[in-house]
Amino acid sequence: MCQALNEQLKWEMYSANLYLSMSGYLNKLGLTGFAHWMRAQYEEETSHAMKFFDYVLKRDGDIQLETIEGPKQEWKDLIDVFEDSLHHESEITWRINNLMKMAKEEGDYASDIFLHWFVVEQVEEEETVRDILAKLKIIGGKGDGVLLMDKELSQRNFSRKSLKSITVE
């Protein structure tokens, strides 16, 4: 289980890097609100990685930081960015579900409880990206609608305090 949790720590850090890359790309396009949203997503994913880091340590496990592959740097357009984001979140959901399955099979009740937060979080992650993507598709990813969405997404605030989870003492 410890090895699998370390693997997930790597994937959470990859997620952070992917969103930071997306932020840079969107900023280059002049979509600073979308870039801001992705930067907040980067911070959120980093905090997810730290949850895994801290949990492994609480369970007296060894941290095994692995090499993280560099993320994609360019996309076709704004819709492509969010399609990639949704695909990535679906992959992370699959990985979290596999961790849950492993925890149950091993009778690791503490990890089962710890992972519940991530199961719920992944539902929210996919729903949010799916909603943004649906709106982008309605407006064709262009025009005044993009500018309105850019302004709306610039309002996102990230707070590590909002990411409290069940902890095992």
- Read off the pLDDT of residues 63-75 as tens digits, 9 standing for 90 and up: 999 999 999 999 9
Residue 164 lies in a domain: no
Domain encompassing residue 119: 2-159
Q: Return the pLDDT at 158.
A: 84
Provide the pLDDT confidence category of residue 162 given band limits of 50, 70 and 90.
Answer: low
Whole-model pTM: value is: 0.92
Query: What gap in Å lies between CA 139 and CA 18, rounded to an integer?
Result: 25
Residue 167 lies in a domain: no
CATH classification of the domain holding 59: 1.20.1260.10
Average pLDDT over residues 18-22: 98
Interacting residues of 21 by C-beta distance below 8 A, sequence separation 6+? 71, 72, 73
Complete DSSP assignment for 32-91: HHHHHHHHHHHHHHHHHHHHHHHHHHHTTPPP-----PPPP---SSHHHHHHHHHHHHHH
Average pLDDT over residues 139-165: 85
Residue 7 lies in a domain: yes
Average pLDDT, the chain: 94
How many folded domains does the chain comprise? 1
